[in-house]
Structure 1
Amino acid sequence: MGYDAEDTRRRIFAAAAAEFAEHGLAGARVDRIASAAKANKQAIYLYYGGKEKLFAAILRAKLEAVAVSVTIDPEAVGESAGEIFDWYHEHPELIRLLLWESLEACDAPAAEDHERRDGYRAKVHGLVDCGMARHLPEEARVPAVQDLVFTVMGLVAWNFAVPQMCRMVLDEETSEAALARRRAAVVAAARTLAADFAPSRRNAEQPGD
């Protein structure tokens, strides 16, 4: 059987994702990644260009995966928040990677900053184009939807950033029980926050109301 470059890349990616989630960028070791991937260190540098670029590639891919798998429905923001919650629950490595990025790279913007920023802008403008926040003046719509999206993201992510605190504050015996409660609370909160933003909302000042 010949050398399978794509399989090697996939093994390196999976091993590196686990290593970075556990140890962060500074604490991760290329030799451990190579050993877990059953690949040599040279392959990591060949395919990804080094540890920093590998970390960035993994984070970018994870963010793209959640963006593709889950979208915000302008007519059902609460339900969308629940789907995002489920995605984070099923992929706990993402929040750990984001936290490591914040801790270790907060003073040095990543090369992907512009690409990620453009992606978020596109999502927000897409929601506005669908009619979200149309009760507001035109110049206020994009900032309002940006705030809403970021608030919903925070509502979801914080549960997975501090699971022990979540369990203790809610006084639940297990993290699973706490997360079940939190999912329902996040959906309800997102639905309430988005009530005035939905495209179907009728402007109170319209004639006939």
Structure 2
Amino acid sequence: MSYDAEATRRRILEAATAEFAEYGLAGARVDRIATAARANKQAIYLYYGGKEKLFGAVVQGTIDELCHAVDMDPSDARVTAERIFDAYLTRPRAVRLMLWEALEVRGGRVADEEARRARYQELVRELAPDPEGRRAVQDWLFTLVGLVAWNFAAPQLARMILDEPDDAAALRRRRARVAEAAARMAPAPLAAGDPQSPVREPARPAPAARPR
């Protein structure tokens, strides 16, 4: 059987995503990643250049997946907010990885920062084709991501503050409130969406995989 380098890369990336989401960069172990990926450690260094670069590739891939999962609607802030919420809901590792990254870099530059900056700029251009409106949309998008991500970053606070015996019901309520807030604070042309439009049902969350 011939060696499939691309399949090995994918397995390494999948195993590394689980490992880094659970332990962060400092706590992750290359030997555990290699075992879970059914690969040797040399392959990890060959393809990714070490643990730090592998961590960067994992975060970059996660952000790219999130961005591609959201079909922006330049005419409706509420719909865009709902779609961003659902993208985070179905990708439970995304917030954990970004929190680990923030702890690791402590305000410094992250791996592949320019490529990630370019992807966010692309999203802003989708929402604001007119350059005159992009600064306001940047502020709106950053605030919206914070509103969305916090629902998944601190579940213990959600339990205590929302005081909702049904976690799914609490999440639906939070999704509706985030979408409402996004519509109210949206700059033009995003403000064109009807803030009283019906609340859509959130996507079902994908089960969070645990590292082997």
Q: Is the 8 A contact 2:184 2:191 kept in 1?
A: no
State the TM-score, normalized to the length of structure 2: 0.84
Residues 111 and 199 (structure 1), Cα distance of their counterparts in 2 relative to 1, 3 Å cut: closer
For residues 190 and 84 of structure 2, what CA distance do their matches in structure 1 show?
21
Provide the identity percentage. Answer: 54
For residues 77 and 118 of structure 2, what CA distance do their matches in structure 1 show?
21
For residues 180 and 91 of structure 1, what CA distance do their matches in structure 2 show?
16
Residue equivalent to 2:22? 22
1:198 to 189, 194, 198: 189
Find out whether 1:127 has 2:127 as its counterpart: yes
Deviation at 1:25, TM superposition (A): 0.3
Residues 13 and 200 (structure 1), Cα distance of their counterparts in 2 relative to 1, 3 Å cut: closer
Q: Is the 8 A contact 1:34 1:41 kept in 2?
A: yes
1:147 to 139, 150, 154: 139
State the TM-score, normalized to the length of structure 1: 0.85
Deviation at 1:197, TM superposition (A): 1.7
1:100-139 aligned at under 5 Å gives the runs 100-129=100-129, 138=132
CA deviations 1:158-184 (Å, max 9, x no partner) are: 101111211221111243232121111
Residues 173 and 45 (structure 1), Cα distance of their counterparts in 2 relative to 1, 3 Å cut: same
For residues 90 and 77 of structure 1, what CA distance do their matches in structure 2 show?
20
Residues 154 and 107 (structure 1), Cα distance of their counterparts in 2 relative to 1, 3 Å cut: closer
Gaps of 5+ in 1: 133-137, 202-209
CA deviations 1:62-84 (Å, max 9, x no partner) are: 11111112033121111111111
For residues 181 and 105 of structure 1, what CA distance do their matches in structure 2 show?
34
For residues 152 and 200 of structure 1, what CA distance do their matches in structure 2 show?
14
Name segments (4+ residues, structure 1) moved above 4 Å.
none
Residue equivalent to 1:169? 161
Residues 200 and 190 (structure 1), Cα distance of their counterparts in 2 relative to 1, 3 Å cut: closer
Residues 200 and 27 (structure 1), Cα distance of their counterparts in 2 relative to 1, 3 Å cut: closer
1:185 to 177, 188, 205: 177
Residue equivalent to 1:205? none
Gaps of 5+ in 2: 193-212
For residues 92 and 184 of structure 1, what CA distance do their matches in structure 2 show?
19
Aligned partner of residue 189 in structure 2, secondary structure: coil
Larger relative contact order (C-alpha < 8 A, sep ≥ 6)? 2
Residue equivalent to 1:9? 9
State the AA in 1 paired with 2:55.
Answer: F
RMSD: 1.8
Q: Is the 8 A contact 2:127 2:190 kept in 1?
A: no
State the AA in 2 paired with 1:49.
Answer: G
Whose Rg is larger?
Answer: 1
